[in-house]
Amino acid sequence: MPDLVQSHDFQSVYQPILSPTHQKLVGYEALVRIRQQDGTPVSPPDLFDQAHHRNQTATLDRHLLNLHLGNFPAEDQSAWLFLNINPHSCTHPETSLDHLADQCQDFGIAPDRIVLELVETASENPGALLRFIHRAREQGFQIAIDDFGMGDSNFERLWQINPLIVKLDRSLLVNAEHNNRARLLLDSLVHMIRESGSLVLLEGIETPQQARIALSTDSDLLQGFLFARPGGISETTSKETESRLKTVVSQSSEWSLKDSRDHQTYLQLLRFEVLEACHLIVRDVPFATACQRLLQLDGVKRCFVLDRNGIQLGNLARANPDLQRARFNPLYESAGACWAHREYFINARERPQQVTCSRPYVGLPDARRTVTLSTTLPSAYQHEVLCVDIHPDAVFGGQLTFPDTL
């Protein structure tokens, strides 16, 4: 059979990796474009499949690493070089890493400038993967986990590997763009990984909206077509990429400022209507009528009153009648229920006359994410507490952060 390396043409391309905090380019991921001798393009996964069947994986992997290192203008770049490591190379870490170290020395690139990208789920031998990582660190290489959040990604192995960088799979960002719950999970995942001691890289950013989401997660590094497509490395490329980053960050800041103003206006109106409902209640206006304007605000779903012991007085005043409820739920009729253990009741008792906000939780009446506002009623009713349930995901696309007090 013909040798795969000899029968194909290979070209190195490099995609910039950016730091939004520093607003500059800090790395390149090395990728490859492959063509047959007649010019027909070939996808890298297909060629590696062929190499696996022909027992040429190690040869192909070494050739590509040598190609990327040789084409990388290290002297002109103050940046990391990210290299994708085939899982097969992890099986024999001594041989593959010694060869890579020799290649780095030949091209005058220090190992600590190289970030080895490993797919945490790709190795059938986790022990070999950990040995590879240990040996790589001994030789000075940096470690990144690629495509985390895809398939069977394992947090336990992530803690064991303790990578410098975790690259989140693009599907997490795409889902966050269209689903608020996925967006909340993405935020939590980024914070969890950063708190564990690794940097987070969000890749696959293609639109301004995706960039805005990525920036809102406080990710450390960004990568995607919106900033630069894979290509050659030049001073012009670096300047253009950093200019696009600065434009995106500036636009995102403008959007965030506008959002902040809109959010503040909503919260001020919400506080006014809560206090107005309190005054109507103590003037003996019927409860549903007193809460009518409050219930017309976006996201407001239910109002109810608790006595000094946290017992609910009467049923709910609600934004939607019972007939519009889609499913039977015996927890919906809650007159006489005791909510004394709830955060919102405790908040109101500890901070009377203030409108306090609970942390998000799952509300029993509809099993939806809920924030409850609470405040003690004035004058003769001061031992009673007005509570207002809000679905935060129904307000500003779930991006409004409720403060401790309004």
Instruction: Quickly list DSSP for 367-396.
Output: --EEEEEEEEPPGGGTTSEEEEEE-GGGSG
| Superfamily in which the 8-233 domain is placed by CATH | EAL domain (3.20.20.450)
Name the pLDDT band for 372 (thresholds 50, 70, 90). Answer: very high
pLDDT value at 329 more than 90: no
Query: Which class in CATH covers the domain with range 281-398?
Result: alpha beta
How far apart are alpha carbons 165 and 176 in whole angstroms?
A: 21
The residue-averaged pLDDT of 85-100 equals 73
- Give residue limits of the domains in the chain: 8-233, 281-398
Which pLDDT does position 182 carry in this prediction? 87
Name the pLDDT band for 333 (thresholds 50, 70, 90). Answer: low
Single out the residue of 394, 406, 380 nearest to residue 302, CA to CA: 394
Cα Rg of the chain, angstroms:
28
Which pLDDT does position 1 carry in this prediction? 47
Higher pLDDT, 330 or 193: 193
What are φ and ψ of residue 61, in 5° steps? -65, -45
How far apart are alpha carbons 73 and 78 in whole angstroms?
A: 10
- The answer for residues whose C-beta is within 8 angstroms of residue 334's C-beta and 6 or more apart is 304, 312, 315, 316, 364, 365
What are the pLDDT digits (tens) for 115-131? 999 876 655 667 778 88
Which pLDDT does position 124 carry in this prediction? 65
Enter the pTM of the model: 0.75
How far apart are alpha carbons 291 and 199 in whole angstroms?
A: 47
pLDDT value at 319 more than 90: no
What are φ and ψ of residue 377, in 5° steps? -75, 150
The residue-averaged pLDDT of 283-306 equals 90
Higher pLDDT, 262 or 259: 262
